[in-house]
Amino acid sequence: MNKKILNVLFICLIGLFLISAVNATDDLQNNVIASNSTVYQITSDLSNDNIQAMFDNASDGDTFEFTDNEYKDISLIVDKKLNIVSKNSAVHTFSQLSSKAKTLGITDTFGFYFTSNSCGSALSGLKIIVTDSDYGIIVDSSDDTTIKNTVVTGGVNGILVKNADGVNILSNNISKAQSNGLQLQDVKNSVISKNIISYNVRSGIETSNSYYCNITNNTVHHNSFNGISMYNISSGNMIKYNEAYENPNGIFIDSQSTNDVINANTFTYNRRDTDYELGAFESGNGLLFGIDFKTSKEGSSSRLEVKYNVLAHNEGYQAKNNPDLPVFKLGDNWFDSTDDENTFVCPMLLAGIMKLNTFSVKNGIGLQMYDTSGNPVQEFGTFDTTVNVDGNQYTAKFVNGKATIDANLDQDKEYDIEVMVGGQPVNYKYKAATGEKDDNQDSQTSNTDGERGSSGTNSQTSTDATNGASKGNGNLQNGTSNSAHYSSNENSGVFGTNASGNYQDSSDNGQDAKTNGDESAGDASDGEVSEEGKAYEVVPESKISKEITDTSGLVVLSIVSLLGCLIYGYWRRADFD
C-alpha cells in the first residue's frame, strides 16, 4: 500500500514539473513580447529632423524617452503608435512647418501632431512651451490616444483634439494660450479629466460637436471668456465634478444639447467683465445659456439635465437664460440660500432650490444637502461653509452632498449651531449621536410628514420665514415653502427667482462666439458612454497573437486531466491484479 502511495506521489511530481514548464514557457513568451518594444533615448543634441527620422523608422509600440532638461525648435509628427515619455523635459515648439508637415498638407504649426496612423499612442511627462506656434499638441483622427501629466503653456491654442474617438486627456496643466486651452471638435467617447486649465485668453475648455464624452474633475479658472464653452451639437456628454471659478462665466451652453448631464459641478466666484465680447451684462454668471441653445421639450428623456450643482457667489446671476429663449426649468441646485427669493436666478429660468439640514454624528456635527423632495443627495458639487458652535468656529467641506465636523460634542447635550448660508447665519438645534454608530445619516431621510429620523434633534430654527422650517415643531417640511414661486405643477417643488425680479438685458451682443472649427454634425448614435473619469493606459500591441499566448491554460488543463487518468488507471490496475 505504501508503495502504491509513493507511485501516485511520483506521478503528481511529474505533473507539477510539466505545469511549471508550461508557466516558464509562458513567462519566456511574455519576455519576448516585451523585448520586441524598443526604447529610444532622445537627447537634446539631436535635431528635430533627426528625431522625426527616428519616429518614422520605429515600429508600432516603441517608446521614445526625452531624457535631457531642455529641447529647442521641436515640431514632430507622430505617424504610428508610439509612447512618448519624459520625467519633466521642457520642449520649446518650432514656429515653422517641417518638410514632413508640408508633405501631409498640414497648415497649423505645433509641437506634436498625432495623425490617423498613430491610434493608441501616448504622450506623458513633458513640459511643452508653445513659442509662436498655433498649438502645443494636435490630435487629428488619432483614436484611443492619451495625453497625460503634461504641461502645455503659451501659444495660440493649447491642445486641439478633432475627428477622434476614445481620446484621454488626463491630469494635464494647460495655460496662457492666446485663444482656448483645450478644444474638442467632432470628438466622441473621450475622457477629459483632472486637468487644470487656466489663464487662457478665451475658454478653458471649448467643445464643438461632442458626443458621449466625460468631462469630469477638471479645475478651470481665470480664463478670459468662459470656463467651459459648448457649441454646435452636444449629445450624451457627462459634465460632472468640475470646478469653474474666476472666469466671466463658469459654463456657457450655446449648443443643441440632447442627453447631456451637467451634474455636481461647482460654478462659483465668476466675475463681471466690462470688456466681455458678448456684453458686460452677459458676464459674471455661474451658468449662461446662449442664443443658439436648444434641447428637447420638457418631459423628454433626452432633455438637458442640470442638477446638484453649486451655483453661488457669482457677480451676475447664479444661472441666466437668454431673453430670446423659452423659459427653461433647471433641476435642483444649491444657490447658497435658504431664502428662495435670494437665489439670484434669472427670471427666465425655473430653479429647484436645494435645502441644507443636519444629521447626527457621534461627538460631531453632520450637515446634509436635500433635494426639493426632501431626499438626501449623494452626488453634489463641492463647497465650504462656516459653522459656529458655542463660540468655536469650524469649516465644513461638502463632498457629495455631505459634510462632517469633528467637534468633540457631548452626546447628551443639545447645542445651538449656526451655519453660514449666503453670508447669514442659519440656526439649528443639534444633538450628537449616541452609541457606536458614527454616522446616522440613513435615519435622516424625510418621512411623508416632514419629520427627520429619531437619532438626534435636527430641527432648523432659522428666523428666515421662507426657509422651509415649520415654526410649530421645527421639522423641515421636505424643502417646501409658503412663498409663491414659479412651478410647472403642484409636485415640482420650490423654484427661486432673482431677488430683484428684473431681467437686465443688454443690446450689446458682441462678436459671434462660435468656433471656426468643422461644423459637421457627426453621428451621435455610434458611441456609448465611456466609464466616467477612467484613465486608459496605452500598452504596446503584442507581436504574438492572443491565440498563441492564451493557450497555456488549455495545456495545464490537459496535463491535469492526463494525471487524473494515470492515477485512476493506476488504482484500477490493482483491482485486475
Owner of C-alpha cell 415643531: 473
Find residue 395's DSSP bridge partners. 386
Count of CB atoms situated within 10 Å of the CB of 75 = 22
The predicted pLDDT at position 131 comes to 87
Furthest C-alpha separation in the chain: 107
472-492 burial code (b ≥16 CB/10 A, e <16): eebbbbbbbbeeebbeeeeee
DSSP string, 221-276: ES-SS-SEEEEEEEES-EEES-EEESSSEEEEEEEEEES-EEES-EEE-----TT-
Q: Are 242 and 220 in contact (CB under 8 A)?
A: yes
How many residues comprise the chain?
A: 577
Residue the block writes with cell 461647482: 266
Phi, psi of 399 (to 5 degrees): -130, 120
CA dist 139 and 114 (Å) reads 5
Is 208 in a helix, a strand, or coil? strand
Judged by DSSP in three states, 157 sits in: strand
pLDDT of residue 312: 95
For 53-75, the DSSP string reads HHHHHSPTTEEEEE-SSEEEEE-
Task: Describe the crossing of helices 2-35 and 552-576 by its angle, rounded to 10 degrees.
Answer: 170
Per-residue pLDDT at 459: 37
Q: Specify whether the CB–CB gap between 295 and 303 falls below 8 A.
A: yes
The pLDDT assigned to 549 comes to: 37
* Grid cell listed for 482: 409658503
Cα(246)–Cα(199) distance, rounded to whole angstroms?
Answer: 10
- Residue 381 DSSP SS3: coil
What is the dihedral angle through the alpha carbons of 109, 112, 118, 122, rounded to the nearest 10 degrees? -160
Q: Phi and psi of 239, rounded to 5°?
A: -115, 100
Strands 70-74 and 39-42: unpaired
Give the phi and the psi of residue 566 in degrees, each rounded to 5.
Answer: -60, -45
Instruction: Decide if 72 contacts 47 (C-beta within 8 A).
Output: no
Find the DSSP H helices in 202-298: none
Q: Report how far Cα 477 is from the mean position of its chain's Cα atoms.
A: 34
Distance CA 448, CA 452 (A): 10
Residue type at 339 in one-letter notation: D
pLDDT the model gives residue 503: 36
Answer for the pair 507, 352: CB distance below 8 angstroms, yes or no.
no
In SS3 terms, 333-372 reads as EECCCCCHHHCCECCCEEEEECEEEEEEEECEEEEEEECC
Q: Which residues pair with 358 in a beta bridge?
A: 367
Please count the other Cβ atoms lying within 10 Å of the Cβ belonging to residue 2.
6
User: What integer pLDDT is reported at residue 391 of this predicted model?
Assistant: 85
* Residue among 172, 224, 160 at smallest CA distance from 197: 172
Question: Measured between alpha carbons, how far is 71 from 469 in angstroms, rounded to an integer?
Answer: 64
Phi and psi for 99 in degrees, rounded to 5? -65, -35
* Residue-by-residue pLDDT tens, the chain, 577 positions: 555 555 545 555 555 554 444 444 343 333 322 346 899 999 999 999 999 999 999 999 999 999 999 999 999 999 999 999 999 999 999 999 999 999 999 999 999 999 999 999 999 999 999 989 999 999 999 999 999 999 999 999 999 999 999 999 999 999 999 999 999 999 999 999 999 999 999 999 999 999 999 999 999 999 999 999 999 999 999 999 999 999 999 999 999 999 999 999 999 999 999 999 999 999 999 999 999 999 999 999 999 999 999 999 999 999 999 999 999 999 999 999 877 777 899 999 999 989 999 988 888 999 999 999 999 999 999 999 999 998 899 999 999 999 999 988 888 888 999 999 988 899 998 988 875 544 443 333 332 222 222 233 333 333 333 333 332 223 332 222 222 222 233 333 344 443 323 334 333 333 343 333 333 333 333 333 333 333 222 323 323 223 323 444 544 455 555 666 555 555 555 554 4
- Residue 393, judged by CB atoms within 10 A of its CB (0-12, 13-18, 19+), counts as exposed
| The pTM of the whole model exceeds 0.85 | no
Q: What pLDDT score was predicted for residue 342?
A: 79
Residue 433's pLDDT is: 84
Q: How far apart (Å, rounded) are the C-alpha atoms in residues 159 and 82?
A: 18
Judge whether 352 and 481 are in contact, CB under 8 Å: no
Alpha-helical (H) ranges within 382-498 are none
Q: What is the pLDDT of residue 229?
A: 98
User: What's the pLDDT at 2?
Assistant: 55
Q: Which residues contact 350 (CB under 8 A, 6 or more apart)?
A: 327, 328, 329, 330, 486, 487, 488, 495
Strand partners, 124: 85, 148
> pLDDT at position 527, please?
33
Kindly report the number of other CB atoms within 10 A of residue 571's CB atom.
11
